[in-house]
Amino acid sequence: MFVKTRMTAHPFTVTPETTLPEAIALMETKRVRHLPVVSEGRVVGVLAPSDIAAAGPSRATTFAAGEINYLLGKLKVAKVMTRDPLTIAPDALLEEAAVMMRDHKIEMLPVVDGDELVGVITESSILDAFIEILGFRDRGTRLTVEMPDTPGVLSRLSSVTANHRANIQHLAVYRGGGDRSTVVIRLNTLDTDEIEAEFAAEGVVVLHKLQNI
């Protein structure tokens, strides 16, 4: 799956000259947590909740409340934003975006095609894709099984499901240590009793069964 298939296109943006109260108001109105900062068509920064929090007055300040509000009202995004943010291309794999966000502890990546901002990809986008890839909300049966980690075993399982006219619509393999793996198989049927019995004959143990009606 590519970033362009899950990104939010045409995201809300601000400029470096936008005041901080204006940016905060936009975030609250549009219900977004991050804003790309764009100057002359190029992404020059990102405004995140942590940037806004860091811009607040220190508890040790001697300014009065009115003075603080006046100063914050004049503060420009350019003084607060994270400069030169990480970006990703629309044709990058979604897994690449997930690794970048995880490794750098960030919640949003601007998606850039050349120098042009074309979207943003967020943690929520990646979580939604994860749910979709596993078919968690789709109608059918989701079997979590433990099986031998040997060549040809998936082929044998697909033969079993095909013999019962069931289609494997989603599949995920979690490789642990040893000679067995945990596999999530989502089938497009609610009648899996005979399939499970044949799985057992192949040395496959059903650990969990979830049916979505």
Q: What's the confidence (pLDDT) of residue 203?
A: 86
- Identity of the amino acid at 108: M
Same domain for 117 and 199?
no
Q: Which domain holds residue 63?
A: 3-130
Same domain for 66 and 164?
no
pLDDT tens per residue across span 95-143: 999 999 999 999 999 999 998 999 999 999 999 999 888 888 889 999 9
> Which residue reads 């068509």 in tokens?
41
- For residues 69 and 64, the model is more confident at 69
CA torsion 191-196-197-199 (nearest 10°) is 140
What's the mean pLDDT in 159-174?
Answer: 91
CATH number of the domain encompassing residue 196: 3.30.70.260
Q: pTM score, two decimals?
A: 0.78
- pLDDT of 63 > 60? The answer is no
Cα 188 from Cα 169, distance rounded (Å) = 7
Question: Considering 103, 130, 157, which residue would you say is the last residue of a domain?
Answer: 130
SS3 letters across 66-82: HHHHHHHHHCEHHHCCE
Cα 129 from Cα 1, distance rounded (Å) = 9
Per-residue pLDDT band for 56 (boundaries 50, 70, 90) equals: low
Query: What tokens does 88 get?
Result: 């990703």
Same domain for 96 and 178?
no
Domain count, the chain: 2
Same domain for 77 and 53?
yes
Give the contacts of 6 (CB within 8 A, at least 6 positions apart): 94, 121, 125, 126, 128, 129
Same domain for 31 and 85?
yes
DSSP-assigned letters across all residues of 99-152: HHHHHHT-SEEEEEETTEEEEEEEHHHHHHHHHHHHTTTSSEEEEEEEEE--TT
